[in-house]
Chains A and B, each alone.
Chain A
């Protein structure tokens, strides 16, 4: 997701952008970027927020980010991220900020819980089907039928290999789906398995001093995310990524 931030379909910084094709930052005659507009400060060239928050509706998005994370925290975070990754970071930060404002208790963690429960349910269904398949006795291949008086249609040979395999499914990272309505947090909370208390809350298990199973799971998933080649970072669908100017 490293599109030209000046393109109309993606995030645009007010009249300025720090991308190579747009040059300079905000405040160069096109008005301040959305972040500086919100903060009521001068938008200097090279403003770190300018490429991602345009002056029109970017301010509204930035308001959410500022309320939850604070401008200086986000600025520091972006400074430590390579430029070509900052758009993804801004999108995900906006998502988390909006989720937190929508649900001040669980934030985007409600979405994680909902997905986790969905995985559990699907795996249960898969296990059931696998067990069912294992109990089926495969019939012996039918003998070649003698030519009957009436012509009968013999079914074509069926092949399991004709079925689609998981590996043939494209893996796209569509950040626009983040902005779909989330599952009701109350339902997600009832179903949750990923226990944030394992992140060392005072009510956590005696062994949860630094995380526990959840940390191990998070580390494992993050490690797997980073390990594959070429898409060592999941590729993002540029065309469908939400514009922060919306």
Chain B
């Protein structure tokens, strides 16, 4: 295979890219950065081994997920993907609190409405009663 048609992985590793290169379908030459993330975090041999252990139809998803994990770890070396997980958990807490707050507001409204209706009922009852007494 000529140099120009090497996948990003083989280009980065400075080796020939065979026809049956395991990484070539998932690390195209037009996106070298994607492989650099994966190479830095997992290593070429690890990711090759992990992909080889999967059915072909699942390798694309796996490669994409590993690329995401690697990117998140490069961006945040301490927490990696857990940083995003934490953010989502915090967001869930915030939204749940908002929901509680709004349910409370609706409950207050209903209570005020009920109170008003009760007052109206009592007013009409007593005015009827007065008329009766007359």
Contact A201 B78 (CB under 8 A): no
Complex interface bits, B5-38 against A, C-beta within 8 A gives 1, otherwise 0: 0000000000000000000011010110110000
Least CB distance, A73 to chain B, in whole angstroms: 5
Cβ contacts under 8 Å, A108 to chain B: 69, 81-82, 85
Given A142-B119, A203-B60, A221-B84, residue A107 in contact with residue B69 (CB < 8 A): yes
Cα of A70 to Cα of B80 in the assembled complex, Å: 16
Q: State whether the Cβ of A105 lies closer than 8 Å to any Cβ in chain B.
A: yes
Contact A109 B81 (CB under 8 A): yes
Q: State whether the Cβ of A111 lies closer than 8 Å to any Cβ in chain B.
A: yes
* Interface of A, helix, strand, loop or mixed by DSSP: helix
Contact B85 A106 (CB under 8 A): no
Cα of A155 to Cα of B115 in the assembled complex, Å: 8
Closest residue of chain A to B120 (Cβ to Cβ) is: A142
Contact A209 B77 (CB under 8 A): no
Least CB distance, A103 to chain B, in whole angstroms: 9
Cβ contacts under 8 Å, A96 to chain B: 69, 73, 80-82
Contact A201 B85 (CB under 8 A): no
Contact B43 A89 (CB under 8 A): no
Complex interface bits, B89-110 against A, C-beta within 8 A gives 1, otherwise 0: 1111111111111111110110
Cα of A107 to Cα of B63 in the assembled complex, Å: 11
Cα of A133 to Cα of B86 in the assembled complex, Å: 30
Contact B122 A126 (CB under 8 A): no
* Interface of B, helix, strand, loop or mixed by DSSP: helix
Cβ contacts under 8 Å, B54 to chain A: 104-105
Least CB distance, B55 to chain A, in whole angstroms: 9
Least CB distance, B70 to chain A, in whole angstroms: 9
Complex interface bits, A73-93 against B, C-beta within 8 A gives 1, otherwise 0: 100010011000100110011
Cα of A171 to Cα of B81 in the assembled complex, Å: 18
Contact A163 B104 (CB under 8 A): yes
Q: From residue 36 to 71 of chain B, which have CB atoms closer than 8 A to chain A? A: 40-43, 45-46, 50, 53-54, 58, 60-69, 71
Chain B CB count within 10 A is highest, among A85, A112, A146, for: A112
Identify A123's interface contact among B46, B95, B111, CB under 8 A: B95
Pull 27 A–B residue pairs with CB atoms less than 8 Å apart, ordered by A.
A68-B46, A73-B43, A89-B78, A92-B78, A95-B82, A96-B81, A105-B62, A106-B61, A109-B65, A115-B89, A119-B91, A130-B102, A142-B119, A145-B122, A158-B108, A158-B112, A164-B100, A165-B97, A171-B93, A197-B64, A199-B67, A201-B60, A202-B25, A210-B33, A218-B84, A221-B83, A225-B87
